[in-house]
Amino acid sequence: MKGLSIVFHTPEIPGNTGNAIRLAAVTGAHLHLVEPLGFDLSDAKLRRAGLDYHDLAHVTVHPTLEDVWETLGERRVIAFTTRTQDSFADVAYQPGDVLLFGRESTGLPDEVVDDPHVDLQVRIPMQPSRRSLNLANSASIAVYEAWRQHGYPGGA
């Protein structure tokens, strides 16, 4: 979806980020990674998961979350967290939305979820007593819902 941004806050697993690179390439989203990363960007697992999509994706690495906010400017930020009962499916997504996800092991820290730049907190429903979805899968669910709502602009 043109103008949509995905933000991974301090991701840990190279395969998830590689899959997100592929997701960004096939949907036209822009992937933003906030350091520290739990891997080197030349990691073989990241390259394998992203396959040949690295050159087709828009990926930016930021030293801090504040740098992300400065880069993106005034845009609506939607944080994906287990701290709310509000469903991601109830959001009317807008072009330019920022979809914010936390690290694989702990999700978004409280100070990020409570950041004044965050406009909405949503969750992806799942069966009770399950810890979490895979990070790349969560981003895919959210991006495709936003893209679907707008009729898959630019999609074939």
Pick the CATH number of 5-149 from 3.30.300.340, 3.40.1280.10, 3.30.310.220, 3.20.20.70: 3.40.1280.10
Mean pLDDT of the region 66-71? 97
Peptide bond into 36 cis (omega under 30): yes
Alpha carbon distance 27, 92 (integer Å): 18
Q: What is the DSSP string of 17-28?
A: HHHHHHHHHHHT
Q: Is 132 annotated as a binding residue?
A: yes
- What is the rounded distance in angstroms from the CA atom of residue 75 to the CA atom of residue 65? 14
21: annotated binding-site residue?
no
List the chain domain ranges.
Answer: 5-149
What was the pLDDT predicted at 95?
A: 92
Q: Is 18 marked as a binding-site residue?
A: no
> Residues 23-55, buried b or exposed e (16+ Cβ, 10 A)?
bbbbbbbbbbbbeebbbeeebeebeebbeebbe
Supply the pTM of this predicted model: 0.92
108: amino acid identity, one letter: L
Token pair 């969560």 in the structure block, residue = 138
Q: How confident is the model at residue 122 (pLDDT cuts 50, 70, 90)?
A: very high
**17-57 pLDDT tens trace:** 989 999 999 999 999 999 999 988 776 766 665 556 667 88
3-class DSSP assignment, residue 74: coil
Distances (CA, A) of 6 to 19, 64, 97, 127, 129: 12, 15, 9, 25, 27
Helix (H, G, I), strand (E, B) or coil at 57: coil
Task: Please tell me the predicted confidence (pLDDT) of residue 120.
Answer: 98
